[in-house]
Structure 1
Amino acid sequence: MAITLDRVARDFGAIRALDEISLTIADGTFVTVLGASGCGKSTLLNLIAGLDMPTSGRLSIDGVAITKPGPDRVVVFQQPGLYPWLSLRENVAFGQRLRGTIDWPRIDEVIGIVGLGGFEAHRPYELSGGMQQRAALARALVMNPKVLLMDEPFAALDAQTRHRMQDFLLELWGRIGTTVVFITHDIDEALMLGDRLIVMQARPGRIAIDRPIPLARPRHWDMVLDPGFVALKRAVMGILAA
């Protein structure tokens, strides 16, 4: 589903968090949105999700205005937000339960896809941080979203687990091909994951860079030594330091 933002602005009182944001995200694209804290990344994500409304401008999906949350968009947050009294399987089913219909075969299929088969009966406290994030991702995927919105989902993980989750997400996205908007403040993560990079600058939040990421897929971490990767990273660092 194509996402379009047309001159979108968001004010919080006298503070302008986003200013005249215009962009189109093509169906099936993996877009990474990079910027320092306070640049409006999460505000942008909340607007696309329908969790917040713009002060001015228009957001739409396939030409239909975004006015509220919808089943076509699912958000994965930094914290997994799993319910400690529920099993992993019940946590994954929670969104479907709210809808009123639970597709248990689909839930079990997705649990297997994210590599958590055999842990269905475990409670969240019995799972590692990376496994909890996989459970949160499974909970999103069982809703069959057209757009997956991810707000720094790996930021709280240790470096080794974070790399594993990044590799896992790339492999998963290669199979499901859904549109992904991924918020991060980590330059390497942004460049390694995305097809397209959007860099935001703050006060007010504006788009400073919007360009394709010219790295072949499949991605691997040796690419951080690629001259093209290094040059793009240097350019991004210059924007963030300005």
Structure 2
Amino acid sequence: MSTEYVLEDRPHGHARARIRESANKVPEVTVYFWIIKVLTTGMGETASDFLAHTLGNIPAVGLGGLAFVASLVLQFAVRRYVAWIYWTAIVMVSVFGTMAADALHVVIGVPYTLSTPLFMIALAAVFALWYKSERTLSIHSIRTRRREFFYWAAVLATFALGTAAGDLTATMGLGYLGSAVLFAVAICVPAVAHRAGLLGAVTAFWTAYVITRPLGASLADWMAMSKADGLGWGLGPVTLAWTVAILVLVGYLATSRRDVGTA
């Protein structure tokens, strides 16, 4: 949450302003973080498609937008990281980010070959403004409202970019399973490069973060789509199954606090 300025009473009527920052507003990056992140991307993909097919594109986008705003309002309202609040916001960003990216293609007719670089530029602009303002893109210092705003703007941009990139590779002939394999290999690159000392921690993190979106979405689509393109399990059942998996893991983190830093 934002920095607070608290006036402390001092002798002789003087007051001193004391700056208080909230605790870090995001979880520690553990294996659980990456597993849940991939699950939220896949669940967001199939949930978005399921709502669009069930309610229609416009009502689905409206409902998704309201849930997205409500989840972020709640996230900004708390003073520290709370597992179920944070991951609810991530899920809503995933659902709404998918809807936003799909709307450009389905409703407006913007091709993925154009929307993908556009979202890439948008993400680069968020990072540039964030770094210019805070001199860091690290997620270990999300303790002020301004840094939290930049963080969630970047998260939303990564979801939109990942959605467009995943759909682009799927429509280029790779299919959903081929795209999933491609991005599963791709997500190993920043990890290996960082371990070899060729890539900084912050750059490696955000690179992997972007790739989780098309990786999870491609896997979920492969499970949900017809047997001509996937396993044919259906949008509803896949959304439900991935949602249950998210709830189990987030529930574990909420009780164990394995993703809460000691600082």
- The two structures have a TM-score, normalised by structure 1, of 0.27
> Hey, which of these two has a bigger chunk of helix by percent?
2
Larger radius of gyration: 2
